[in-house]
């Protein structure tokens, strides 16, 4: 049985991906900071073996310790979904809060690196593996006030391309999914718990659901070994570009 390790499985895209991969027969390592959420998810996934790890991806020592603690049954990771991440704030750069910048760069970029660095020995040792990084349309398109979030996702895109090259000799596929607007807790986090403002983001059009992104990830990681779906841009039908959404 293949093992998938999913960061940010306590909510949104990561949670839906856990459900989809369990249905595809993977056993799962699900991770995040909110343990009770992960326990609730594990109960729903009772048809497959699940191991929970709780850590903050920004804490390198905690990441290393958590991955090293995996029991033998879960240690041979086949698939890594680097999904944990968020936007924090939406402000012009001159008004930006450096604490928000740290949270985005440390979580979305360095966290992805720390987790990959900790998991990769299990892949290079076995010369097999598949990594899917969750980027964003924001990684290739600028939008006003997106500054540091866009930069963090541009870094994810470049890391995806360079990791792919580094890992080619090790038979490890590296890929990226770049969603547009998906209704999750993303905007609630970006606007620091302001649910009314978060809700406005998805008003007047039908956004992607986390399950739509999970479907694509599930497709990617179940291709035959000679196929790498390297990059996917996934929009809701009403979206044409990062900042162009047709609202009714």
Active site residues: 149
Question: Which residue, 32 or 129, has its beta carbon nearer to ligand NDP?
Answer: 32
Residues making contact with ligand NDP (CB under 6 A): 8-14, 32-34, 37, 56-58, 83-86, 107, 111, 134, 136, 179, 181-182, 184-186, 189, 210
Kindly write out the interface string for residues 45-84 of this chain, putting x where it contacts ligand 8X3 by CB under 6 A and - elsewhere. ----------------------------------------
C-alpha torsion sign, points 9, 11, 13, 19: positive
Burial class (CB in 10 A: 0-12, 13-18, 19+), 92: exposed
Using Cβ positions, the residue closest to ligand 8X3 within the complex turns out to be 136
DSSP code at position 169: G
Residue 185 binding result from ligand 8X3, ligand NDP, none, given CB thresholds of 5 to 8 Å by partner type: ligand NDP
| C-alpha count within 13 angstroms, C-beta hemisphere, residue 182 | 27
CA 223 – CA 110 distance, rounded (Å):
28
136 counts as binding ligand 8X3 under rule CB under 6 A: yes
Question: In angstroms, what is the C-alpha Rg of the chain?
Answer: 17
Residue 211 contacts residue 219 (beta carbons within 8 Å): no
Residue 177 binding result from ligand 8X3, ligand NDP, none, given CB thresholds of 5 to 8 Å by partner type: none
Q: Which stretch binds ligand 8X3 (CB under 6 A): 53-61, 92-100, 117-125, 130-138?
A: 130-138
Residue 131 contacts residue 174 (beta carbons within 8 Å): yes
Window 5-44: residues binding ligand 8X3 (CB under 6 A) = none
Window 227-246: residues binding ligand 8X3 (CB under 6 A) = 242
Structure tokens at 180: 């547009």
Binding site for ligand 8X3 (CB under 6 A): 136-138, 146, 181, 242
């Amino acid at each position: 049985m293949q093992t998938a390790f999913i960061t940010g499985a306590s909510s949104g895209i990561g949670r839906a991906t856990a459900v989809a991969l369990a249905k595809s027969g993977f056993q799962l390592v699900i991770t995040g900071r909110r343990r009770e959420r992960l326990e609730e998810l594990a109960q729903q996934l009772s048809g497959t073996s699940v191991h929970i790890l709780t850590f903050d991806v920004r804490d390198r020592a905690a990441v290393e310790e958590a991955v090293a603690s995996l029991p033998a049954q879960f240690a041979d990771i086949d698939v890594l979904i680097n999904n944990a991440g968020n936007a924090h704030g939406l402000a012009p750069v001159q008004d930006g809060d450096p604490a928000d910048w740290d949270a985005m760069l440390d979580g979305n970029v360095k966290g992805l690196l720390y987790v990959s660095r900790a998991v990769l020995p299990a892949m290079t040792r076995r010369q097999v593996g598949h990594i899917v990084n969750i980027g964003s349309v924001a990684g290739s398109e600028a939008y006003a006030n997106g500054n540091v979030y866009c930069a963090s996702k541009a870094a994810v895109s470049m890391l995806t391309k360079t990791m792919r090259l580094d890992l080619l000799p090790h038979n490890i596929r590296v890929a990226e999914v770049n969603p547009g607007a998906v209704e999750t807790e993303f905007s609630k986090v970006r606007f620091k718990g302001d649910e009314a403002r978060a809700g406005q983001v998805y008003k007047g059009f039908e956004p992607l659901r986390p399950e739509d992104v999970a479907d694509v990830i599930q497709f990617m990681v179940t291709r035959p070994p000679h196929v790498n779906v390297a990059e996917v841009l996934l929009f809701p039908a009403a979206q044409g570009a990062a900042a162009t959404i047709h609202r009714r």
